[in-house]
Structure 1
Amino acid sequence: PASGGPVRIPLRDLVRFREEQWFMEELENSREGDPNAMLRLAKMYLYGQGCERNTNIAQEWLRRARAGGVYCTLDELVTAEDLETFRRQARASSNERLRKLQQQQKRSTSAVAATS
């Protein structure tokens, strides 16, 4: 800064930066074959720590960790509260897709009726 004082960085930015660093370290260790890093990486993908949340990639790293001798299921990585949140999100997403399909069907039906 122009005042010559210390640079102030918001805590959330520091936390995000550190999570991203940690994610990159775990990704590198996982690619080198460390099954414990694979388990940690799976959890990071599951919760979106240092990366975008992606349960499919989380499951793949968990599968690789198990192949490396670390035995843990996806259910063991999440709390009951987390699991309920994931289920609610999945239901909401499914409901939204269903609503869009119903709207498309209505439009198609209306278009067919208008041409008859």
Structure 2
Amino acid sequence: MQNGSSSNNGGQGRLPLSAVVADCVKRWFHDTLKEARGGDVNMQVLVSQMYYSGYGVPKDTNKARAWMSKASRSRSSVWIVGEKHPGYNASDSDSDEMMGEAQ
């Protein structure tokens, strides 16, 4: 919308895109944490990855390990992706490499 008809106070007080993205990432972390606390193993892995990389939350390798440990109680293979970027799964690009190693 041009000519000053933006929905956020007529265009005044606009936030830089980086601030908007950072806020979205923080909200994603908090939503993920809620699901992880509820017992969702995939979300526990994601919280661990987020803590490990500092994505949406201050980097904390101790908390990352604690969440990965919790997730590993249900699925021991989660350690493979513990230090990967948030959202990375073992079924992503490393799976072909792991299959080659297993043979």
Which bin holds the TM-score, normalised by the shorter protein? 0.5 to 0.7
Identity score, percent: 27
2-structure distance, mates of 1:6, 1:14 = 15
2-structure distance, mates of 1:37, 1:70 = 15
Equivalent residue number for residue 45 of structure 2: 39
TM-score w.r.t. the length of structure 1 is 0.58
- The answer to which structure, 1 or 2, has the higher relative contact order (CA under 8 A, 6+ apart) is 2
Unaligned runs of 5+ in 1: 80-116
Structure 2 matches for 1:12-23, cutoff 5 A? 12-23=18-29
After the TM superposition, list the runs of 4 or more consecutive aligned residues in structure 1 that deviate by more than 4 angstroms: none
Equivalent residue number for residue 88 of structure 2: none
- CA-CA distance at 1:74 after TM superposition: 6.1
The 8 Å contact of residues 68 and 82 in structure 2, kept in 1 or not, is answered as no
Larger Rg: 1
Unaligned runs of 5+ in 2: 86-103
Structure 2 matches for 1:32-111, cutoff 5 A? 32-69=38-75, 71-73=77-79, 77-78=83-84
TM-score w.r.t. the length of structure 2 is 0.65
